[in-house]
Amino acid sequence: MMIRKAESSELKTILSLSPQAVFDGTLGEVRPSNLKVESLVNPLLEKGSFYLVAADEEEIFGWLLLGTAKDQFTDQVHGFIYEIYILKDYRGRRFSKELMDAAIEHFQQEGYEEVRLSAKAENPAVRMYEKAGFKTRTVSMSLNLK
């Protein structure tokens, strides 16, 4: 297994599986169409974001989409992890940790002072983010009116 930048030929596969990644990441709350995922991801890719993959020569086990974002109040640019996903058959093998470590190393090498991500509070992946050193920065709340 290796962590590497996704090849352009692999993007179609990743994008076709991304609706499931969003569904799992939102704990079943959101299931976007492939078209919706592409409309969100393509602008990121055009601005320099890219996927890291955990893979061997034949198969992708998971991926992480990284790029940058600008703080809405300070205009400071920071690293941002937009998506991390491990295919179900490969979970529990530390691929997410390997991807996260590679992304953090990339941001450090690029000179960023901070990396951010967003996750559902109940998502079990939050524990992995905390172990990687991430701290809760803001809390987003909602009130269901139905």
**Domains of the chain: residue spans and CATH:** 2-131 (3.40.630.30)
pLDDT (0 to 100) of residue 8: 92
Cβ–Cβ < 8 Å for 69, 97: no
CA distance 36 to 30: 11
Interval 22-36: pLDDT, tens: 999 999 999 999 999
Quick one: how far is CA 8 from the chain centroid? Answer: 18
CA distance 66 to 96: 13
* pLDDT bucket at 45, cuts 50 / 70 / 90: very high
Average pLDDT of the residues of the chain: 95
* β partners of residue 77: 70
Whose CA is closest to 65, among 92, 38, 88? 38
CA distance 100 to 81: 9
Question: What is the 8-class DSSP label of residue 68?
Answer: E
pLDDT (0 to 100) of residue 58: 86
pLDDT (0 to 100) of residue 57: 86
Percent of the chain with pLDDT over 70: 100
CA distance 79 to 117: 9
Structure token pair of residue 40? 């969100």
* Phi and psi, residue 141, nearest 5°: -120, 155
| Range 31-47 average pLDDT | 96
Interval 53-93: pLDDT, tens: 999 988 999 999 999 999 999 999 999 999 999 999 999 99
- 57 or 118, which is more confident? 118
